[in-house]
Structure 1
């Protein structure tokens, strides 16, 4: 074993072994390459034989096949098989049915045609198919196979010959290497002895260079040791140059980092463990009002507080932290709000080496947040508290009064015949009147009283009366303030009046809902008494025709929901340029109980549904019917559904929509949800939440009746709708009122700038349609283009358009 280890450790044995391995690898590659070349040559030869056989077979079979001479065809197949050395032939007619075969059972299924000729095909045949044509006309196909066994045998024989030749070459070269190796390693033994003497300390040993082999190499290495030392010195100089290069790169990187920190708008400050300033960027000085040329590096961080004291920065703003991230808000004397965040800085071992301070100006964010809070609590048109704030305040005051045993008065009033102002002079005039009313009555309200707009022209005032006289005086001042208000539109002076109702807690109701209902009933009692006055809630007069009508409508709507008496109609929305259908809007109708052929419009029952709360169930019913229609008719591009403002605050509505879309397998982008602008602005926070959830599901959102609000444009950035539907008030008289055209053009310009689609409703004639096209409205809707119809009529119309 030791002898074998010593033999394998010698240089000659290693050379011989390496050469043998190299030759084995090279010869193996040659054999493999030869096998591949042989395989390619055999495949080429077989493919050539196939291509040569095709015209011969076509010429022999075309005429008999055209004459349907089966006997002749069978004889030709038999002769072709033996002449062309084919394994089998099957002749198929035009329909692909076998009519003659040779070497193949026609009851068996034909193998698939091979796209590539390979010797390793599983079935052992190269299956080919060719058309049989005569005079450019095809009469059938010929399916035949070529046996690959002969080609495989030839390839094996050639590989075996190459392996035998390679083995002989390796054995011959092995013998030659043994002889040459022993001859070459003799001088190496002499060099080994000289090397051992040098290892023992005889550095004066010199050997004559007598050859250029390994001995000569070792000798030259010994004689050129000094040169090697010089080369090592040169390597050290190169390493030093490389170090200088790295240093230059580090300095450039430092310069880039400094430029980045200097360009940032947030303040950056690094301090060490002793709270000395290591670095600060220009933004820090700008935010703190410090001279940009002030030398701060190396000074204590408290120097910043001293220099920034003029802006109201206190001494404790830059106090040392406790080794953890902490944030502090710094309100400055000029109203600016900064946030200061401290981050500990540690080295690779986790030891603290200082802190990083980041200062950021969040003044705009704070003001925006305050504005959103204001919008969530206030009515956007008048600036008064909205319905949500009113409900919270009423509940709070009733709870406090219940604990203290005091009285709370709720005053509710609206404007008499306010609808005539909107219908005659437009919604802008109505908005102006509401703003004036809010200002006049608001001037009469004391700090302890709560004044809110509930919606439309309905206002409410909560107070804690000191006695009946004070309450009567307040009511009289409110009614007189409305009556004295000067209102003039288009040169006409109007006199507005109001009706005010009063309900007292706990005399008339012991909870917020009933108190609002009693005050509302008192307001209608004031209208019955002649309007322009006020009434305290009277239980004896509460059962009025109005209330009975409401109760009747509530029962009627509940019965319509239970008995499925609502009728969905669909009206098309078309492209303003080419008239192509874009989507449908679902319009709700109620089938009359007395006359089933009569359909009641929403204007007669939606208000009752909103008061009773049934509007939420109706909205869900409409949404479910819209999704079912989209699922039933895939050709419908999309359907728009208008939901009430009372559904905004329903947290389960988005889940209902998502569940219906998933249940019916409808793509969310085919459902377009329309929100009335006034309702959305009146309940901004819930509207924003609903729009965000609809967008997250993939549904589109349309802002309906756009332009009816006083501050429509201002709220577009808070209501990210995809489509703006222009209020029909500005479209209906567009051809006769150029002021409306100016307003529509402004809406279109703003919508295009925000990337939103515009839809104009109530298009009743061709002249109005032409004007809408001229200002760039995207889509139109109205009786001029198509009336509302049931779903089956829409399907028929859609099919006719597609055909």
Structure 2
């Protein structure tokens, strides 16, 4: 049924069905009319036969009947039945009695005579009677019956033929109508299909115009409509695509802004002109101690104070009348420090629509700043003031004393045989002793006195003594306090002693550098006097030319820094196997003021620089010059620079290295920093921190003069250097002293086990080089490859073999 409904939706199907119904009705009427005409024709034909048969029968039967010749009558009846296709014949006399019959049992009663011939008579016969007359006299009657089955069969055949002809006509009409319908509706179907394709998005569909009739006109109109739709759809799609692009950009921008605001650690608060919250980010809730899921939008800004954890947030701290646009601090009751600032928010017309509040937690920054100040001024191990603070304080006090005409005493002391404690019991034991000394001496120092740790085991105290007796009592207390300090390691009690030197301003020196040099000389005078005591500076005992020259070195080194009199020279470090250049080492020389052609070696001026504290500035100068050289020559291999032990606790040195690398755009792996092993072991904790920071910057670290210390192998695991440079003491006589070869081989084996590179310095001949190759040394350096020289354009680059 559903399929029929679907079929009848087609216009061609409805046209065909209507035509077929009309044709069936017409043909039905024609068949019925034909059947009626055919029935009438057959009945007329049968009646005509009857009428034609009556005279012949009357002529044949009249004479025998008059003669009552029954035999002849019977014979005539038989022949008449056979010849006339009559079903039965019964001859009756004048009295109506049957006297002869053919095809009928005379015992049976004759059927009634039919007045009208009909094909649907019940007995199947058309019963007729006629009088038998001769010469105007009636001798009897003849009743006979015409069989109707042949007429009926003929009628049925004719009806069947008509029906078949009608069905054939209907089928032919159906086929013709289908063909015609398809031909007529094909353009409509094409229009329908094209419209469906357009509905599906194929806007380029066009139909070919095949006729000039109404269908052609409709097709042209459809093509025009399709073109207009295509243009509008293209414009709509372009507009939609542009809108989607803008929408995607807006969504992405909104997502990025939301992610940014949500990820920010500072609090963001937007309020409208009525001080109602429009937006806030999660950080604001965290800073104020409000539940992150709290619904704040739409509430008055005063709700922040009610919902905030009770940490001292004032109800009006975010009101429109509170504060200027600059940042203001809020100190909460739990110690948290917040900064808040607000800025006006305006629309495109410049009218204010609200304010933006920015809240930041600066507690960590404040503490970090305090910590940085502390680290810049204090020694991280003992908590005492450091060398930088000492220099500033000494300059300040001497300037004040010079103006006031007062006296300043500088007490300088170190611990006797402290290095043995480090070597025997480890750096942790040494650090513990330094902490104990700082605490013990610090307890004796008055508020007006300035107690510092200069580095290693060296301490200093600046004071303004009231008189010689007061100064003597102070020195005695310090030396005795250290001597009484209980020190025990591994069940062994140790006696700790110190040597203290005192120099006075202005009696012994009139400037800070000379005063330090005088106190240092006095300290060594105390050591020469037997240690565990103190000594006031004695000019006579420090009156040799060599010591006077040492005092003058401070000014000489200062001039060298100011007037660029330091000269960097470079010596190559080569692969031990193939001789290719690996990197350069920058070695420092000082140009002689008396003879500019002469260069002074570091051994003559570095000790004075370390005592005066100028070594830190020299170290920075060397670092800056090395990095500038690398930047000027991008093809130059890495450069190694030496850092003094005095710079290990300088917190500004790593920042200086990082800033110089960034300023010159030099990759950090091109800078190799060398630390002297003895200095690193003597101040192990500071050396460890420095190495860690240098690794964080990406610089490699080399442990110089390895093997010269008392416990080199024991400290190797505590100093995570990348490179070990074997002390030249074991290399110079390697070909003549087999004990040195055993020691070098041991260093190489341990270094390879720890995945460290080894460098042998002071390689001066081919025989030594061959022995070093045999034990597996990675790199070599020495006069055998070339002496240190100033930088010039002909210097080799990485990978060049010698």
TM-score band w.r.t. shorter chain:
0.5 to 0.7
Structure 1 pair 454/544, CA: closer, same or farther in 2 (3 Å)?
Answer: farther
Instruction: Give 1:461-480 correspondences, 5 Å limit.
Output: 461-480=461-480
Question: What are the superposed Cα offsets for residues 252-298 of structure 1, whole Å, 9 maximum, x if unpaired?
Answer: 77984656644544322111122221121222111101233444333
2:385 alignment partner, SS class: coil
Partners of 1:800 and 1:243 lie apart in 2 by 58
Name the residue aligned to 2:313: 313
Name the residue aligned to 1:414: 414
1:274 alignment partner, SS class: coil
Partners of 1:244 and 1:667 lie apart in 2 by 51
Question: What are the superposed Cα offsets for residues 23-55 of structure 1, whole Å, 9 maximum, x if unpaired?
Answer: xxxxxxxxxxxxxxxxxxxxxxxxxxxxxxxxx
1:696 aligns with one of 645, 660, 663: 663
Q: Is the 8 A contact 1:730 1:740 kept in 2?
A: no
Structure 1 pair 319/565, CA: closer, same or farther in 2 (3 Å)?
Answer: closer
Name the residue aligned to 2:391: 391
Structure 1 pair 381/730, CA: closer, same or farther in 2 (3 Å)?
Answer: farther
Partners of 2:716 and 2:247 lie apart in 1 by 68
1:582 alignment partner, SS class: strand
Determine whether 1:726 maps to 2:703.
yes
Q: Is the 8 A contact 2:580 2:798 kept in 1?
A: no
1:607: Cα distance to partner?
Answer: 0.8
Name the residue aligned to 2:330: 330
Question: What are the superposed Cα offsets for residues 121-179 of structure 1, whole Å, 9 maximum, x if unpaired?
Answer: xxxxxxxxxxxxxxxxxxxxxxxxxxxxxxxxxxxxxxxxxxxxxxxxxxxxxxxxxxx
Instruction: Give 1:402-801 correspondences, 5 Å limit.
Output: 402-421=402-421, 430-488=430-488, 493-544=493-544, 547-548=547-548, 550=550, 570=571, 572=573, 574=575, 582-585=582-585, 606-608=606-608, 610-611=610-611, 644-648=615-619, 666-667=633-634, 670-676=637-643, 678-697=645-664, 698=666, 700-705=671-676, 708=681, 709-716=684-691, 718-719=693-694, 720=697, 722-726=699-703, 739-740=714-715, 742-743=717-718, 747=720, 757-759=722-724, 761-762=726-727, 764-781=743-760, 784=772, 785=777, 786=780, 788-789=782-783, 792=786
Structure 1 pair 409/792, CA: closer, same or farther in 2 (3 Å)?
Answer: closer
Q: Which deviates the most, 242-251 or 418-427? A: 242-251
Name the residue aligned to 1:623: none
Partners of 1:612 and 1:291 lie apart in 2 by 59
Structure 1 pair 654/522, CA: closer, same or farther in 2 (3 Å)?
Answer: closer
RMSD: 5.7
Q: Is the 8 A contact 1:571 1:586 kept in 2?
A: no
Partners of 2:241 and 2:584 lie apart in 1 by 73
2:452 alignment partner, SS class: strand
1:351: Cα distance to partner?
Answer: 1.7
Determine whether 1:351 maps to 2:351.
yes
Partners of 1:606 and 1:245 lie apart in 2 by 72
Name the residue aligned to 1:32: none
Partners of 2:349 and 2:582 lie apart in 1 by 65
Partners of 2:639 and 2:705 lie apart in 1 by 19
Partners of 1:306 and 1:649 lie apart in 2 by 55
Partners of 1:758 and 1:250 lie apart in 2 by 53
1:326 alignment partner, SS class: coil
TM-score, normalised to structure 1, is: 0.54
Instruction: Give 1:200-219 correspondences, 5 Å limit.
Output: none
Structure 1 pair 501/768, CA: closer, same or farther in 2 (3 Å)?
Answer: closer
Name the residue aligned to 1:276: 276
1:547 alignment partner, SS class: helix
Partners of 1:287 and 1:600 lie apart in 2 by 61
Partners of 1:658 and 1:571 lie apart in 2 by 17
1:389: Cα distance to partner?
Answer: 0.6
1:451 alignment partner, SS class: strand
1:273 alignment partner, SS class: coil
Q: Is the 8 A contact 2:630 2:636 kept in 1?
A: no
Q: Is the 8 A contact 1:569 1:789 kept in 2?
A: no
Structure 1 pair 689/454, CA: closer, same or farther in 2 (3 Å)?
Answer: same
Structure 1 pair 397/315, CA: closer, same or farther in 2 (3 Å)?
Answer: farther
Name the residue aligned to 2:373: 373
1:769: Cα distance to partner?
Answer: 1.3
1:451: Cα distance to partner?
Answer: 0.7
Name the residue aligned to 2:362: 362
Q: Which deviates the most, 363-372 or 458-467? A: 363-372
Partners of 2:465 and 2:572 lie apart in 1 by 53
Partners of 1:448 and 1:479 lie apart in 2 by 20
Tell me the number of residue pairs that the alignment of Structure 1 and Structure 2 aligns. 539
1:239: Cα distance to partner?
Answer: 14
Structure 1 pair 671/230, CA: closer, same or farther in 2 (3 Å)?
Answer: closer
Instruction: Give 1:292-303 correspondences, 5 Å limit.
Output: 292-303=292-303
Name the residue aligned to 2:140: none
Partners of 2:429 and 2:390 lie apart in 1 by 26
Question: What are the superposed Cα offsets for residues 508-560 of structure 1, whole Å, 9 maximum, x if unpaired?
Answer: 444433433333333334334433222333445442576257369999999x9
1:678: Cα distance to partner?
Answer: 3.4
Q: Is the 8 A contact 2:289 2:309 kept in 1?
A: no
Structure 1 pair 541/769, CA: closer, same or farther in 2 (3 Å)?
Answer: closer
Instruction: Give 1:137-216 correspondences, 5 Å limit.
Output: none
Structure 1 pair 455/585, CA: closer, same or farther in 2 (3 Å)?
Answer: same
1:743 alignment partner, SS class: coil
Structure 1 pair 584/300, CA: closer, same or farther in 2 (3 Å)?
Answer: same
Question: What are the superposed Cα offsets for residues 373-416 of structure 1, whole Å, 9 maximum, x if unpaired?
Answer: 22222223433211111111122223334445544322112233
**Larger radius of gyration between Structure 1 and Structure 2:** 2
Partners of 1:500 and 1:789 lie apart in 2 by 43
Determine whether 1:339 maps to 2:300.
no
1:388 alignment partner, SS class: helix
Partners of 2:296 and 2:405 lie apart in 1 by 64
1:360: Cα distance to partner?
Answer: 2.9
Q: Is the 8 A contact 2:707 2:726 kept in 1?
A: no
1:713: Cα distance to partner?
Answer: 4.0
2:327 alignment partner, SS class: strand
Q: Is the 8 A contact 2:568 2:586 kept in 1?
A: no
Q: Is the 8 A contact 1:569 1:788 kept in 2?
A: no
Return 5+ residue gaps in structure 2 as ranges. Answer: 1-210, 592-598, 731-742, 763-771, 789-793
